[in-house]
Structures are given as C-alpha cells and as structure tokens.
Amino acid sequence: MFKFLLKFKQSGKRSTPAPAFDKLAGAENLSDEGLTRFLREAIASQNSTFGALFLVAVANWRYDYIIMKQVVQFGLGFTDSLEGYAQFQTYLLEKHRSNTLEDEIARRAIIYRYLAALTHMLTFRARKRPELWDDVADFWVAVLPGARAIRRTIEETALWRADDTKEFSEVTTEVDGENYCLRHLLPQEIRSHAKINEWREKDWSHEQRAEMEQLDAEIGRMINGPR
C-alpha cells in the first residue's frame, strides 16, 4: 500500500473526482425508472477518464462481491445480494472519512464500486422487465467513450492497483478498450442492440457502410431465399 500511495503522490495526477457519495447513498432503493435516470445523471455526464475508472470497477465487481459475501458471514447485517453489496460500500465509506490521502483514494474507489453495483442491479432488473433494455443501451452508449480511455487512464492515474486492472492487460489502444467493453462488459442482451450498433458504426466510412449493407442483403437472401 505504501508504494501505491507513493506512486500516487509522485505522479501528481489524481483521478477525476467522483460524485459526492452523500448524494449517491440509497440509490439501490430507487424504482427501475429512478435508478435508470440516476445512473445516467451520475455517470453518463462525466468525462472519459471517469468512465474508464468506472469500467474497471464494473469488470471487478464479481471479485469484490465474493469479499462482501465473506464479510456477511460475520453478521454485519448485509444481505447476499447486489443491494447488500451496495450497502456494504456505504459501510466501507464510513471507515474512510478522514482527510488523509489514503482515505481519499479509498473513498473514490468505493464510489466507483457502488456505481458498478447499481449498474449490475439495473441489468438484473432489465432481465425481469425487458422494456428497460432501451434505457440500458442508452446508458452504455454514454459510458462507451470511457472504454477508449482505459489504457491511458490506467497509466496516468493511480486509483486502481495492478490486481484491479489485470483484466485489461491486453488493452493497449483505444480500439482495444472499446472492443473489450463491447464484448465483455456490456450485458449480452444489448450487444446487438440498434443503439449499440449505431455507436459501432459512427466512425465508418461511406465505403464501409456500403459493404456492410451489401453483406446484410446477401445474408438476408441466404436466409430467406431469392425474391
């Protein structure tokens, strides 16, 4: 931990400030529509560095959740659920209220983990209410610029340690970051959503679009037969 903090001080670069946690706590109790709106306002309006740091938390939530489940066994009152995981982050925040550099780093990491929990919570809710998928796709389109900033952010900030970023070891370019997010972090249900496809195609040239349209037409003929 000491070496980690030393790197943070020497680099002179701190991560983008996360929203004040006091404004976030309790969001796990919002309605489906309220949670969707909350996440859009809390994350989607931030810059790409914020998005990249958030995506690291999204990628690691299963490991963090296992730690929380172990803590639950000590009878601290958290349920074995995503709601319990979010409340566990609130509990951890109370342990890091001082003005020390170490606590500042911890608070920021906790906030990103809390937001990641809410994001996964929204995904599970959408699986029960499929009409939410359009809103989920809108949210992820707003987050995707952060995927392009993953490598740069990991190298320029010291919020996350090596263990936290190992999932991104093969991400070396902006395109790598975007592809990793599209293939691994997006809920499977929206990976072919029209809004996600529109994001993928936003940088295509006229020739690339024409080639894809021709390919789509050929696939359609193979499936449906000649008309």
Question: Would you state the pLDDT for residue 4?
Answer: 30
Averaged pLDDT of the chain: 80
Q: Token pair for residue 53?
A: 């740091």
Q: Token pair for residue 75?
A: 């009878």
CB atoms under 10 Å from CB of 126, counted, come to 21
- For residue range 120-164, what is the model confidence (pLDDT) as tens digits? 999 999 999 999 999 999 999 999 999 999 999 999 988 998 989
Q: Is the pLDDT of residue 8 over 50?
A: no
- For residue range 12-25, what is the model confidence (pLDDT) as tens digits? 444 444 445 555 66
CB atoms under 10 Å from CB of 84, counted, come to 19
In the three-class reduction of DSSP (H, G, I as helix; E, B as strand; rest coil), residue 129 is classed as coil
pLDDT (mean) for 192-221: 68
Distance between CA atoms of residues 38 and 17, nearest Å: 17
Distance between CA atoms of residues 181 and 165, nearest Å: 13
The domain ranges of the chain are 15-191
Amino acid at 197: N
Distance between CA atoms of residues 182 and 144, nearest Å: 8
Contact at 8 Å (CB) between 50 and 18? yes
Torsion of CA 168, 172, 178, 182, to 10 degrees: -40
Question: Would you state the pLDDT for residue 90?
Answer: 81
Q: Token pair for residue 158?
A: 């010291």
- For residue range 42-90, what is the model confidence (pLDDT) as tens digits? 886 789 999 999 999 999 987 777 777 776 666 667 777 888 888 888 8
Distance between CA atoms of residues 44 and 144, nearest Å: 9
Task: Say what percent of the chain tops pLDDT 70.
Answer: 75
Question: Would you state the pLDDT for residue 11?
Answer: 41
Question: Would you state the pLDDT for residue 65?
Answer: 76
Closest-CA residue to 26 (of 116, 118, 108): 118
